Structure 1
């Protein structure tokens, strides 16, 4: 499996595109710049099988319908946020963008609990990692030693918890009980900023000491 990090939009939200040798692809968090993302996928001759959302904040969902409409692929989100996509007040876009609220059609599939998600040749362990938002999840590929953590864990930082539904203590518990339990060489593909590893964050993330 090959994966590509694509920072999109004014908040430079990381979309991730995973692909196999057959050019099947998974798109995680297509946050903005829909036409450009669709064009890039076409130029790479990729065939998206699904869109996976770590959570439904507006900066992670802006290109969902562009990609879904073009490639006819389903969208997956945790059930706690299944009604956030079409609602600018819940996904935060009304608060930050006013009348330019960002919305998308409801997801095609909801994730109800931790499970193994198999999509074509791709396989992920779905880890429930709430705290940044109630329905935040991380997608872990054990085979490829990488976890797509959304806005739960960043390089030398953690997700903000001052937005509606955020909970600082819950986020710390999610990180310690779910993410830091992964092998230390696991790559953490964050929702913003550079990638890191579980081991690096265990050793030096200032937000995780003294928990």
Structure 2
């Protein structure tokens, strides 16, 4: 795993995603996320090869590709882990983790993601602002939406780690971008406009300048609106969620033979349907005990 300097003492480990870390000195660093379980040996080895050991973990959110090794580093190096309260709660046990995976069974969650279960030592304050952690001064910016307690972190070098609050240019073709709440994620992106920092890191392979960020935010917002409209157009009449899933997967050619992957598609589609319902672009009905989603009654009557 390659380690690359971003600015000053702010670096990234380049794995399946970018894992930022801040060097306290030549021997200690603070990890801003810990990556996937499958990356554990590679991440730890890359740090040790450079003479670095973790001194703390300031985690952006509790998703499997961001905190898969937090408990491991916490126990092995006896270092503190910091998370927001909603994210810390999700890491308590298999059933709280299921709130993230949603469509996966408890046994599947345990089998695939038990590595996420740990108890953070520090709960991040709910307000934006300065935060001292493990010997360094950071700034927190709360950006819920992608997850309930997602947070962006600014290092002492003035580098802002956006984590999953913003998709990099590389991912702007995503067919079903995941956000627990599309509306809240969009609100959080608007909150990021006008920040004074000159460098921004996105977890999924992106570093941009302050000048580039507004254009990237525009593209992110446009992606969600476009996907929502495409999905709405596939629901011309009251349909079950399963029928909507089939229509969306066919439209985007999301063909898979893996049940767990299909269940993740179902989850992501549901979040778009909920967004459309909350915006008044779809209406929920019930027939024979089954929920149906379709155009609003007023729109259907007009047609």
TM-score (norm 1): 0.82
Q: 1:138 aligns with which of 142, 152, 157?
A: 152
State the partner residue of 1:170.
Answer: 184
Any gaps of 5 or more consecutive residues in structure 1?
Answer: none
> Partner residue of 2:160?
147
Shift of the 80–171 alpha-carbon distance from structure 1 to 2, 3 Å rule, reads same
Instruction: Name the CA distance, whole Å, in 2 between partners of 1:6 and 1:68.
Output: 18
Q: Which has the larger radius of gyration?
A: 2
Stretches (4+) displaced over 4 A: 157-163
Cα displacement string for residues 162-205 of structure 1 (whole angstroms, at most 9, x for unaligned residues): 45xx111211211112x22212x521111111211232131354
Secondary structure in 1 matching 2:120: coil
Instruction: Write the distance in 1 (CA, Å) between the matches of 2:103 and 2:17.
Output: 18
Instruction: Give 3-state SS (helix, strand or coil) of 2:73's partner.
Output: helix
Distance in 1 of aligned mates of 2:103 and 2:54: 29
In the alignment, the residues of structure 1 paired with residue 137 and residue 103 of structure 2 have an alpha-carbon distance, to the nearest angstrom, of 35
For residues 60 and 125 of structure 2, the distance between their equivalents in structure 1, rounded to whole angstroms, comes to: 13
Deviation at 1:22, TM superposition (A): 4.3
Whose strand fraction is larger, Structure 1's or Structure 2's?
1
- Kindly indicate whether residue 34 of structure 2 is the aligned counterpart of residue 30 of structure 1: yes
- Cα deviations by residue, 1:24-79 (Å, 9 ceiling, x for unpaired): 21101101222222222222222322101110011111111222222211100000
Name the CA distance, whole Å, in 1 between partners of 2:83 and 2:102: 18
Gaps of 5+ in 2: 1-7, 226-303
Q: Choose from 177, 195, 198 the match for 2:207.
A: 195
Between the aligned partners of 1:63 and 1:208, the Cα distance in structure 2 is 31
2: CA distance between counterparts of 1:16 and 1:43? Answer: 17
Larger RCO (alpha carbons 8 Å, 6+ apart): 1
SS in 1 for 2:211: helix
CA distance in 2, matches of 1:46, 1:104: 25
d(CA) in 2 for partners of 1:112, 1:118: 11
From 11, 20, 25, the equivalent of 1:16 is 20
**How much does 1:152 deviate?**
0.2
- Which structure shows the bigger proportion of residues in helix conformation? 2
Alpha carbons of 1:126 and 1:105: their partners in 2 closer, same or farther (altered >3 Å)? same
